[in-house]
Structure 1
Amino acid sequence: MKLLLLCLGLTLVCAQEGTSDVIAGEWYSILLASDHREKIEENGSMRVFVEHIDVLENSSLSFKFHTKNSEPCSVFSTDDGNNKFRILQVNYSHHIIFYLENFSDSYQLLELYGRNEFVEICQKYGIVKENVIDLTKVDRCFQARGNGVA
């Protein structure tokens, strides 16, 4: 199962003392990229949305994902084969970039996860949560950028 592979692949990530306190918690999927686009497009096997990362007693990581295929959002439970999984970049307060290399179907996947501390910062300045707009869910005029790609 893919979740087991992800946990095993990240066993060493939390080997340092104190890491578990900073990596565990809520995360949000921001960007996905793959050299096999069909894997991350709608109904793709790797179109997953992270909700939570936990650190297990053996220092491996456990992820709670959701996927949205032909049915409403459900807990992620597909298996996409033999994977090598590692962290490319991390700022535990803000973001993590994961790199996955799949050897069964021969593809690569990069995932950017972020924290949602922005809402807490807004609330400190008197801006209520209802007045925060998630721009990742709207058309951000990418087509207007220099390369014309949406």
Structure 2
Amino acid sequence: MGGKVIKVKMKDYRLDVEGMVKAINEKTKIIWFATPNNPIGTIVKRDELMWALKNIPSNIIVVIDEAYREYVNDKDYPDTIPLLNEYENIVILRTFSKAYGLAGLRLGYGIASEEITQYMNSVIGPFDTNLIAQEAGIAALEDEDFLKFVVKKMKTEDNIITMNAED
């Protein structure tokens, strides 16, 4: 669509939140925070995100990609859903592909203001997710024991790093 990606180098293996915000210009339409970041596993801390949200113009969409959120055990990891009450330009992305183990179904979801979801629904087809994937997602949400088992198992494997701010 003719957009230009502006890359900001990481700082100490973490997203440079301040650098990302400072890179915003008059053409910026969207800013993307992957937290925890894949493959490194570092997070955007609550105070960093709050600072960013206060300094990002409200006409810029702020995507918070939380695909690996179930693996985070850091007390400084922000609870993003309540932020939707204050910031109407946020889109929170989550997935069933990682901790829920439903990667083959390609099922994920976004949480955003009604205005943003109306725009998204105008370009997404009515059958973008099949019924089997939807039913599997509902079942996955109801099976909290399985989710806890998967997260615990992943954190105890030899080559998996627990995601927290110190890692």
The TM-score with structure 1 as length reference comes to 0.29
The TM-score with structure 2 as length reference comes to 0.27
* Higher helix residue share: 2
* Higher strand residue share: 1
